[in-house]
Amino acid sequence: MEVIDTWTGRTACQLQAAYRMTGEAFARRLGVAPRTVASWHANPDVVPLNEIQAALDTLLEKALPPVRLRFARLAQPPESTAVQALRVAIAIVLRGAEVLLVQRRDGGDLRWQFPAGVVKPGADTAAVAVAETRAETGVHCTVREPLGSRVHPTTGVQANYVLCEHLMGEPANLDPAENAEATFIPIASLTRFIPADRIYRPVLDALGVSA
């Protein structure tokens, strides 16, 4: 298992990404204020206090194998010396008038979102979106077009959105450690699952959903 001698804001954020938690959920698990987690994203080189170091150790020790594997991959130093921002690929998968969602286990909460995966340095965003969708849900899709990117307002990572078209396969929860469910829902019902103010504006536009 990956062992961290001294946690920094960067490695703490990598653990958050491995757990696929929001900043608020990650803060609750550690027993810290959400602004503390936000400060790690803003200052990756900061060293948390000793009691927070211990809490991070415990959270890593209790992590399930998929989480530990993701963390080990994220914690690997990039091949270049340039600082690499944490990026995720988010797949907006259409099947007619439906869109694919997964229900994440976000700490003690359940939260609906689009399939997503971490983009390692040098990896292609579109390829990650397609591969993560298949790995999480069993759904095969193809990329239609990129929808842009933003710094995600909740997680602070660089989020890259890709519009995809369903090719084959019914959704199934292939990552039960992280997800509770995977399903296609009517596009017209999307904002009943994810509040409109949390959805990237170009995604709403591409789906024809009014905010």
If pLDDT is split at 50, 70 and 90, which confidence band does 26 have? very high
Q: What is the pLDDT of residues 34-77, one digit of tens each?
A: 889 988 988 888 899 999 999 999 999 888 878 888 888 887 76
95 in the same domain as 135: yes
pLDDT at 78: 53
- Segment 143-155 shows an average pLDDT of 87
Q: Looking at the domain assignment, is residue 4 inside a domain? A: no
110 in the same domain as 168: yes
- C-alpha span between 194 and 36 (Å, rounded): 26
pLDDT at 87: 86
**Model-level pTM?**
0.63
Q: Looking at the domain assignment, is residue 190 inside a domain? A: yes
pLDDT at 135: 93
Contact between 124 and 93 under an 8 Å Cβ cutoff? The reply is: no
- Segment 158-168 shows an average pLDDT of 95
**Structure tokens given for 16:** 């958050």
35 in the same domain as 67: yes
57 in the same domain as 19: yes
202 in the same domain as 110: yes
**Domain span including residue 183:** 87-207
| Residue type at 132 in one-letter notation | E
- The CATH number of the domain where 151 resides is what? 3.90.79.10
150 in the same domain as 115: yes
If pLDDT is split at 50, 70 and 90, which confidence band does 2 have? low
Residue 23 has pLDDT above 60, yes or no: yes
Least confident of 23-27, 131-135, 151-155: 151-155
Q: What is the pLDDT of residues 85-139, one digit of tens each?
A: 688 999 999 999 999 999 988 766 788 999 998 888 888 999 999 999 999 999 9
Residue linked to tokens 């095969």: 140
Contact between 45 and 9 under an 8 Å Cβ cutoff? The reply is: yes
128 in the same domain as 68: no
Q: Looking at the domain assignment, is residue 30 inside a domain? A: yes
116 in the same domain as 51: no
If pLDDT is split at 50, 70 and 90, which confidence band does 81 have? very low
- C-alpha span between 211 and 187 (Å, rounded): 13
Total number of domains constituting the chain: 2
Closest CA to 94 of 164, 143, 182: 164
130 in the same domain as 193: yes
Residue 196 has pLDDT above 80, yes or no: yes
141 in the same domain as 100: yes
Q: Looking at the domain assignment, is residue 82 inside a domain? A: no
